[in-house]
Structure 1
Amino acid sequence: MHSTLSFSQATTAPTTNYAFHSQSPINLRFCGLRREAFGISILTRSSSGRVRLSTRGRSKRTSASTGNNGTPPKSFDYDLIIIGAGVGGHGAALHAVEKGLKTAIIEGDVVGGTCVNRGCVPSKALLAVSGRMRELQSEHHMKALGLQVSAAGYDRQGVADHANNLASKIRSNLTNSMKALGVDILTGFGTIVGPQKVKYGKVGFTDNVVTAKDIIIATGSVPFVPKGIEVDGKTVITSDHALKLEFVPDWIAIVGSGYIGLEFSDVYTALGSEVTPH
């Protein structure tokens, strides 16, 4: 019997809002993601009611320099540097470019951060699967539809791939949207080393140093694990491990009864685990 202890992490709750306005952009939101994350340009509705696709031109950039009281301007590499390319950093970068700022974003892991890679996006993909499983397992519901299902089953790796593929697609769209608008994506862990100065780089490689008039810290969060608990990824896991669905335990205790803990309870019970929430 495979037993597992899981720690769930609190993240921003997702919202989905489709709004149509005459002669104005259609608003699409999911976990704070802008439409660019879904590979969608601006959609507008004409006076005839027809929805059309349009593109937004690149904003004119300002020079990355400042000056006042007649003193020579101070030169910077960028107007704005953002540390962290999660949903918050991505939104800030696109907004900055729209305002004409020369912008760079630094990411030490993968673009998209927690929401896209280890949070809202893959968890909702797994919830979609659990919902289908419960529907197929409901004999009364199937009979009401005139359907006969002998036994509902699932392919664990296929389910995991479904969640991972969705995250990968949105991660790619986030990256492409920033590149298309001229945002420089700098790879490595960012550290503020002085006023308006940031170094970044990978372990074992020489660090690079860049300067900016302004800096935004958008480094996100990681799962909380109580002191004295050792996470081994097998018998004790975090929400990050649980989303990978590398195995489905016979029994799992979930520490944390917020919405993330409840989501995992739904997913794992639908896939056959006995779940004990704490």
Structure 2
Amino acid sequence: MTFDIFRVDWILIDSIIILILIIILCSVKIYKIKHRWRNSIVNDSISKINLDPHDIEFDNNKFYVKKWNLFFNPNLLELRPHMPTIFMFSSKSLHYLPYAILEGLCSYGFTVNHMLIKRRWDLFKKQEEILDPKNQSILRLTFNYLKSDYPKKISQRFWIIDFKSFLSYKELKNFANDKIGLILINPSIEQLKFNSLNFEKEIKFDLIFSKKSFLWFRNRKISKSMVNFSQLSSENVKITVFENTNMYFKNYETILLAKLIMIIKNNIK
């Protein structure tokens, strides 16, 4: 049986090839938007302490800490004793955005406690359970643990930087005092549903959003936050929007880092 080249449906074959090429080009474009050129800390002056997540016992197993590290620069630790400790929480790697930010913060002189928090798969059906205040003792447990084991590296004054983790900030009303500040970076919609809380005047609260969410889609959380926080004082709540970037802040890490340092420095008494 001979192969008749003239009977081949070349239009169909060309269409398949073009479709494959389009998929490859789109995949490369998405990869370039999301990923960074390095995924580790390269500053040799930054020390890292690997902490055991099992040392923190939760009331239940609805979420867990996957990674827990303490980063600091020993050369600057004694020179800047007034610097607050940074508690950084994230639920995703965001393709190593938190690592890029914490490296810059440590290089500036901050001590950073970073926790990568994951939730169990069964929680995807009932996300409201994650926000149950009785399950949100992680902040108090973490601070007490570090203060007892690393008292010379942890300041009594601290700030929280959250990269869309699953923590509820209802507990902060009871835990917060004049030693705490809070920065949310592209928080989840559920985290924005606490406009009824009456925050104390001492609590500094900042929201940072990217203009776009994923790829070129607009970030719906911006309008949601404007509605939820419209009744709160502008002195306590400030909203910043980065115009030309998406949720990964690629190529805007330095600007984001400068914004974070400026917020914290302006509120150091």
- For normalisation by structure 1, the TM-score amounts to 0.22
Higher relative contact order (CA 8 A, sep 6+): 1
Q: Where is the helix percentage greater, Structure 1 or Structure 2?
A: 2
Q: Where is the strand percentage greater, Structure 1 or Structure 2?
A: 1
